[in-house]
A and B are shown apart, each in its own frame.
Chain A
């Protein structure tokens, strides 16, 4: 490997061999989507978060090059090809046949100041000639990059009519291996949806760094970060996030959060502050609740190892059709104060705790509870009180609409 290549790769992957890359090349493929319009402003905010590299098209790279000035600036990656593959039927001009052409040569990217180039490698096209041409392009880039000391990042994607849900993971594995064999220095790979299969993909590359790409952006910051966490667990070397970051409320903050997971190896719970340090409490947003009862099912599974929504430490009041309302323990402590046997006490997280062996089954807590949320366990003759699951309440964790949330409790 030439020293130029080594040096440039180090700019992207830094000391720990991991990278957070922000992709902002969507305009070339998808047109003026949200986030890439007024790119200068967006990227200025992105850079405040300190990403390792930013992927741009040649045109954007030359007009925004001042963003890359300075010692701590991110590395510049240049998209070296164009494709119509992503213009599906929802676009004004849907692609009829998938085509992929290269737009710049390696020396052009070099002249732009790039620390690497990114090209597609499609697998699963109906037209095998196009597939062959695609391989030819990638291998030509590979030779040129070797000569010029430019890192080549290949983006293998299952694409075309021969892709099915069933063969998707296998196609990713096949194409990452082909890319590795063709001489790619790093790979930008679609996340296969779960860590089990992604681990296989990472292994298939035999040690070449794998960056996962996001695809659609998550509904919440946390959804996006969970993908990052799983990628890292599966052995990935980092993430390439586009819409997840450029379309975020605060792109800079989003980059910082992703970096915390990738470089510092912190858990998502820690990063988004779900596992709060002090005393916590639950709060509900009845307008967001759709009444699906998943919280109740998870609550019972967590506490009893069986699913029984009738034994959950919370209730969902169904008021069809106008909606549903979660009723949860608000840690008011009335049950503790009425318990004559001293069987209920405050826990460390501000929760109610049942002390084994002291309960006399007098039902005072059940009758007193202003929320009517304490149920009585007939089998064991004790009340079922909300213990906030040791600090990470499962109801709030699993809620699909953020109708149940954790808040820090003032002392």
Chain B
């Protein structure tokens, strides 16, 4: 039934699988070489297919909204950290573009099944799972509907020992907008509600595996380029020591020192007990072992043991969302909350920020109690009860699972401290203490996200020379460059963490050796990043997004920081935003101008 097509010289599998759940029909197409050249893969190609699949303003839960799983040319190769894939869809939280980058074996297995990209449309009639392998795709009823992710993984592993899964938890099944996806090795594509989109299709799991080889264009060149990267990862302080030993949370004390660790729903920038949550503390108490994704020598993943249960993580963002952000300092409570969220398939950042918002509502007298619970800062027990309710969707949990933006609509006057951009909750860097992050949150294509324009490295941690965190000068350019760079990294299949040690130059060398595509130099990759960023912008503009959506919560714009090194700072957003639009070649309303679209050769793609 499926043709074997191999026009690509290497890296890519060369085929795209579309599956319509409504009609139960698979369709296989060749990967377009020109498109792959211009957008690389992963996020970029996913964004293009999403753009083409929709016409604008559709309900994210409608059957026509596709959920796209897209790998990059280096996914599954010997490129160190070549593990990543992107989940691309229209987000039920923001109503605009969503891509969620995720590690683990799933992307590799999808490629081994013979596909670069899987596009799932329609909706199944009954709870189902989609099995993708070398023989094609098959929809089967899924008995595990309603079960937690970990139970589902255990049962599916018995049936498919050599396959990997991408699954939704009970939260996604009941369309909780902050529900994410989990892989069989507990990596998550958490943010933006991709789990709810999959739930709306009554798809419990995508199961992928196979034994197709990945061709390499220049074997010797690839080995040499990958070897250099492997060595660079092992020589850099961050990738060789900090991340392997202390996970992503290694930065928590440094960020706290800079007054950039948002505390109690962003009321302050320093958490008094941050040292209790340091990497050293986690390592000596709960963490038992490390875990690496496919091909990764960094192994930032940690596994904790809690009440005889093996628990994944938690990572920096999760520790922050449940810890300082809610005033909680008990590591066990944080690890427990993380376990609940993974088991039920909720995004940890969104869950934590929504709970901290409720705590502030309670503090300010907007609410008297939640199902009889008094949500005060730092009350571990109440906090855990709230997480549990959110996971199980009981009582006030039905409210929490809606996310901050929807909750704050019920409480007029709470908008200024409802911590979200475009509907997606804020992550763990205080923008008043790192202005570039502020602009990054405001202009990110999927709402508030630290990983779309990660300037915190330079602004707070002194990487790459370091820049003044409080100035707005030059930040528009910095944010733009970081966004473009990140877009290309997310499209390549490599992990962002590798780029502490390596640069686009090493990426360029590996991509050329692996695929044989004639990229002249690494700065062509910056242009690919820019192209992708304009593509997602065009998608968002079509959804009705304007300049007024590129904003931050009132707290950052009007409330000067109360204390710490960033005392007195607010984010001067409008100034940075105008410069950012100008540099991007967008008009004052944030729409890409015709010349920009022409210059980036986007017009021929759309």
CB-CB under 8 A for A301 and B291, given A90-B254, A161-B468, A193-B228: no
Tally chain A residues at the interface, Cβ within 8 Å: 54
| A201-231 Cβ-contact flags toward B at 8 Å (1 or 0) | 0000000000000011011100110110000
Chain B nearest Cβ from A388, distance in angstroms: 18
For A96, give the chain B residue with the smallest CB separation. Answer: B468
What are 12 A-B contacts defined by CB distance under 8 Å?
A88-B466, A89-B254, A193-B232, A290-B296, A290-B299, A293-B105, A298-B78, A318-B105, A321-B303, A398-B78, A398-B227, A400-B233
Residues of B within 8 A of A224 (CB): 235
Chain B nearest Cβ from A243, distance in angstroms: 10
A193 CA to B219 CA, complexed, in Å: 21
**Residue B240 at the A interface, CB < 8 A?**
yes
For A167, give the chain B residue with the smallest CB separation. Answer: B465
Q: Which of B77, B257, B292 contacts A297 (CB 8 A)?
A: B77
| Residues of B510-533 contacting chain A, CB below 8 A | 523
In order of increasing CB-CB distance, the 5 nearest A-B pairs are A400-B297, A290-B292, A308-B213, A306-B213, A163-B465
| B148-191 Cβ-contact flags toward A at 8 Å (1 or 0) | 00000100000000000000000000000000000011100000
Residues of B within 8 A of A400 (CB): 80, 230, 233-234, 292, 296-297, 299
| A328-346 Cβ-contact flags toward B at 8 Å (1 or 0) | 0000000000000000000
**Residue A160 at the B interface, CB < 8 A?**
yes
CB-CB under 8 A for A164 and B464, given A292-B292, A293-B295: yes
Are A161 and B235 within 8 A (Cβ)? no
Residues of A within 8 A of B460 (CB): 89
| B248-264 Cβ-contact flags toward A at 8 Å (1 or 0) | 00000010011000000
Chain A nearest Cβ from B336, distance in angstroms: 15
For A318, give the chain B residue with the smallest CB separation. Answer: B185
Majority SS at the chain A contact face = loop
A311 CA to B213 CA, complexed, in Å: 9
A161 CA to B212 CA, complexed, in Å: 47
Are A162 and B257 within 8 A (Cβ)? no
Q: Which of A159, A161, A196, A321 contacts B310 (CB 8 A)?
A: A321
Are A306 and B465 within 8 A (Cβ)? no
**Residue A194 at the B interface, CB < 8 A?**
yes
**In the complex, which of the residues B76, B230, B310, B461 has the most CB atoms of chain A within 10 Å of its own CB atom?**
B230
Chain B nearest Cβ from A21, distance in angstroms: 19
**Residue A307 at the B interface, CB < 8 A?**
yes
Are B295 and A218 within 8 A (Cβ)? no
Residues of A within 8 A of B468 (CB): 161
Residues of A within 8 A of B237 (CB): 216
User: B-side interface residues toward A, CB under 8 Å?
Assistant: 76-78, 80, 105, 108, 112, 153, 184-186, 211-216, 219, 222-223, 227-228, 230-237, 240-241, 254, 257-258, 289-297, 299, 303, 310-312, 460-462, 464-468, 502-506, 509, 523
**Residue A411 at the B interface, CB < 8 A?**
no
CB-CB under 8 A for A165 and B112, given A89-B466, A216-B236: no
Are A294 and B295 within 8 A (Cβ)? yes
Chain B nearest Cβ from A344, distance in angstroms: 24
Are B235 and A218 within 8 A (Cβ)? yes
A195 CA to B231 CA, complexed, in Å: 12
A398 CA to B79 CA, complexed, in Å: 11
Are B506 and A307 within 8 A (Cβ)? no
CB-CB under 8 A for A322 and B506, given A89-B460, A306-B216, A308-B112: no
Are B223 and A301 within 8 A (Cβ)? yes
For A88, give the chain B residue with the smallest CB separation. Answer: B462
User: A-side interface residues toward B, CB under 8 Å?
Assistant: 88-90, 94, 124, 158-166, 168, 193-197, 215-216, 218-220, 223-224, 226-227, 290-294, 297-298, 300-301, 304-311, 318, 320-323, 398, 400-401
**In the complex, which of the residues B186, B212, B231, B465 has the most CB atoms of chain A within 10 Å of its own CB atom?**
B465
Q: Which of B112, B186, B234 contacts A218 (CB 8 A)?
A: B234
Q: Which of A159, A164, A223 contacts B235 (CB 8 A)?
A: A223
A291 CA to B232 CA, complexed, in Å: 20
For B304, give the chain A residue with the smallest CB separation. Answer: A321
For B210, give the chain A residue with the smallest CB separation. Answer: A310
Chain A nearest Cβ from B123, distance in angstroms: 30
Residues of B within 8 A of A159 (CB): 465
Are A308 and B77 within 8 A (Cβ)? no
Q: Which of A88, A194, A304 contacts B213 (CB 8 A)?
A: A304
CB-CB under 8 A for A292 and B466, given A193-B232, A216-B240, A307-B77: no
Residues of A within 8 A of B236 (CB): 216
A318 CA to B235 CA, complexed, in Å: 27
For A91, give the chain B residue with the smallest CB separation. Answer: B462
Q: Which of B185, B294, B462 contacts A90 (CB 8 A)?
A: B462
A25 CA to B77 CA, complexed, in Å: 42
For B240, give the chain A residue with the smallest CB separation. Answer: A219
Q: Which of A218, A306, A398 contacts B240 (CB 8 A)?
A: A218
Residues of B within 8 A of A90 (CB): 254, 462
A291 CA to B299 CA, complexed, in Å: 10
CB-CB under 8 A for A292 and B293, given A219-B234, A311-B213: yes
CB-CB under 8 A for A301 and B216, given A89-B466, A307-B78: yes
Chain B nearest Cβ from A193, distance in angstroms: 6
A162 CA to B478 CA, complexed, in Å: 11
Chain B nearest Cβ from A315, distance in angstroms: 11
Residues of A within 8 A of B292 (CB): 290-292, 400-401
Chain B nearest Cβ from A303, distance in angstroms: 11
Residues of A within 8 A of B240 (CB): 216, 218-219, 223
Residues of B within 8 A of A160 (CB): 465
For A192, give the chain B residue with the smallest CB separation. Answer: B505
Chain A nearest Cβ from B367, distance in angstroms: 38
A305 CA to B112 CA, complexed, in Å: 16
Residues of A within 8 A of B108 (CB): 293, 309
CB-CB under 8 A for A292 and B299, given A88-B462, A164-B465, A297-B77: yes
Residues of B within 8 A of A321 (CB): 186, 291, 303, 310-312
A168 CA to B504 CA, complexed, in Å: 12
Are B295 and A292 within 8 A (Cβ)? yes
Chain B nearest Cβ from A169, distance in angstroms: 8
For B485, give the chain A residue with the smallest CB separation. Answer: A165
Are B78 and A294 within 8 A (Cβ)? yes
A409 CA to B1 CA, complexed, in Å: 51
A291 CA to B461 CA, complexed, in Å: 30
Chain A nearest Cβ from B559, distance in angstroms: 25
Apart from A161-B465, A195-B228, what are 13 other A-B pairs with CB-CB below 8 Å? Answer: A159-B465, A161-B468, A220-B234, A290-B290, A290-B292, A290-B296, A290-B299, A291-B291, A297-B76, A306-B215, A320-B185, A400-B234, A401-B292
A124 CA to B228 CA, complexed, in Å: 26
Chain B nearest Cβ from A394, distance in angstroms: 9
Are A89 and B257 within 8 A (Cβ)? yes
Chain A nearest Cβ from B266, distance in angstroms: 22
Q: Which of B76, B184, B227, B297 contacts A401 (CB 8 A)?
A: B297
Are A307 and B76 within 8 A (Cβ)? yes
Are B216 and A322 within 8 A (Cβ)? no
A196 CA to B221 CA, complexed, in Å: 13
Are B214 and A194 within 8 A (Cβ)? no
Chain A nearest Cβ from B485, distance in angstroms: 9
